[in-house]
C-alpha cells in the first residue's frame, strides 16, 4: 500500500487528461467552425500579400478552374456562327455520299445544322442538373478531371465528323461539350468561391464569366473563313478546345482541393487546414 500513489495524484492526473481532451475537442470544433463559417480565410490566401490577399497559388487555382470550364463554354457558344455555310455544305455532301442523291432540300440541311447548334443547350441543362451531385461525390478537383474527359471526347468527335463524313458525330460532340459546359458551370464557381478569401470572392468569382466572354471572342475570330472557318479547316476549329482540357488537367496537379469539401465530405481536418 505504501507504493500506491496518493489519491490526490490520481485525481490530478485524471483532471489533466480530461483537460487535454477538452482542449483538443475545442480546437477541432474551432477549426471546423472557422472553415465552415469562413471566420478564417482560405489557406491559399495565407501565403499572401497582406495588402491585396492575392497569391500566385490562388491565381493559379482560379485560372486552373476556369481554363477547362468557362473557356469551353465561351468557345462552344460562338464557334459555329461564322462557318455555318461551310458546315451546311458538309452536311449536304455527307447526305449526297450516303444516298447518292442531289435532291436535298435546304430546309433539311438547315434543320440538321440547327440541331447541332441547339443540342449544346440541352447538354448544358443536363450537365447543370447533375453538377452538384457529382461534385459532392468526386470532389471539386475530381469533378473537373471528369469534366475534362467528357470535353476531350467531344472535341475528338467533332474533329472526326468531317474526316469520316458523319454529321451525327458533330451533333453528338456538341451534346457532350454542352454537358461538360453545364457541369463546369457548377463545379468551377463552387471551387473558386471556396478557395477565395472573403474580400476577393466577388472579384475572383467574376473570372468565370470573364473567361466565357473572352473565349467567345476568340472563337469568333478563329472560325473566320480566313483563319479556320474554311471548308477544309473548320473541323480544326471544333477540335482545338481540347487544348483547354489538357491545360486544366496539368494545372490541377499543382493546386489544392477545396477545404470545405475535405472537411464536410471527407472529414479530413488536417488536409482541410492545409488546403
> What is the Cα–Cα distance from 229 to 84, expressed in whole angstroms?
9
What nine digits make up the cell of 140? Answer: 471539386
How many other β-carbons are positioned within 10 Å of the β-carbon of residue 136?
Answer: 14
Judged against a pLDDT cut of 50, whether residue 69 lies above it is answered with yes
Q: What is the pLDDT of residues 202-241, one digit of tens each?
A: 999 999 999 999 999 999 999 999 999 999 999 999 999 9
Residue 8: pLDDT band (50, 70, 90) is low
Termini Cα distance of the chain: 54
> What is the Cα–Cα distance from 2 to 4, expressed in whole angstroms?
6
For residue 107, what are the contacts with CB-CB under 8 A and spacing of at least 6?
Answer: none
Residue 47 carries which DSSP code?
G
Q: What is the pLDDT of residues 99-157, one digit of tens each?
A: 887 778 999 999 999 999 999 999 999 999 999 899 989 999 999 999 999 999 999 99
How much is the average pLDDT of 170-198? 96
C-alpha distance from residue 8 to each of 5, 15, 16, 229 (Å): 8, 11, 12, 88
All structural domains of the chain: 43-274 (1.20.1250.20)
- Supply the pLDDT for residue 144: 96
- H or E segment and range at residue 30: helix 7-37
Q: What are the phi and psi torsion angles at 101 (to 5°)?
A: -135, 150
> What is the Cα–Cα distance from 201 to 49, expressed in whole angstroms?
16
pTM of the predicted structure, to 2 decimals: 0.80
Concatenate the DSSP letters of all residues of 73-139 into one string. HHHHHHTTTTTHHHHHHHHHHHHHHHH------HHHHHHHHHHHHHHHHHHHHHHHHHHHHHHHHH-
* Helix, strand counts (H, E) of the chain: 12, 0
What nine digits make up the cell of 103? Answer: 435532291
Amino acid at each position: 500500500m505504501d507504493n500506491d500513489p496518493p489519491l490526490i495524484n490520481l485525481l490530478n492526473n485524471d483532471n489533466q487528461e480530461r483537460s487535454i481532451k477538452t482542449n483538443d475537442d475545442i480546437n477541432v470544433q474551432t477549426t471546423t467552425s472557422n472553415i465552415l463559417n469562413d471566420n478564417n480565410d482560405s489557406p491559399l490566401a495565407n501565403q499572401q500579400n497582406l495588402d491585396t490577399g492575392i497569391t500566385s497559388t490562388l491565381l493559379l487555382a482560379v485560372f486552373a478552374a476556369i481554363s477547362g470550364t468557362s473557356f469551353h463554354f465561351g468557345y462552344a457558344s460562338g464557334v459555329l456562327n461564322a462557318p455555318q455555310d461551310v458546315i451546311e455544305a458538309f452536311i449536304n455532301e455527307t447526305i449526297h455520299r450516303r444516298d447518292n442523291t442531289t435532291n436535298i432540300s435546304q430546309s433539311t440541311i438547315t434543320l440538321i445544322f440547327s440541331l447541332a447548334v441547339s443540342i449544346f443547350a440541352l447538354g448544358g441543362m443536363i450537365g447543370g442538373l447533375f453538377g452538384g451531385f457529382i461534385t459532392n461525390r468526386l470532389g471539386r478537383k475530381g469533378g473537373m478531371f471528369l469534366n475534362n474527359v467528357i470535353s476531350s471526347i467531344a472535341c475528338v468527335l467533332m474533329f472526326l465528323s468531317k474526316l469520316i463524313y458523319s454529321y451525327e458525330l458533330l451533333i453528338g460532340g456538341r451534346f457532350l461539350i454542352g454537358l461538360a459546359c453545364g457541369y463546369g458551370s457548377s463545379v468551377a464557381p463552387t471551387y473558386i468561391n471556396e478557395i477565395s478569401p472573403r474580400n476577393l470572392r466577388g472579384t475572383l468569382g467574376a473570372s468565370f464569366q470573364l473567361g466565357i466572354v473572352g473565349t467567345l471572342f476568340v472563337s469568333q475570330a478563329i472560325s473566320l473563313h480566313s483563319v479556320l472557318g474554311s471548308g477544309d479547316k473548320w473541323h480544326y476549329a471544333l477540335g482545338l478546345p481540347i487544348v483547354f482540357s489538357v491545360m486544366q488537367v496539368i494545372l490541377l496537379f499543382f493546386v489544392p482541393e477545396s477545404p470545405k469539401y475535405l472537411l464536410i465530405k471527407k472529414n479530413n481536418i488536417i488536409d482541410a487546414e492545409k488546403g
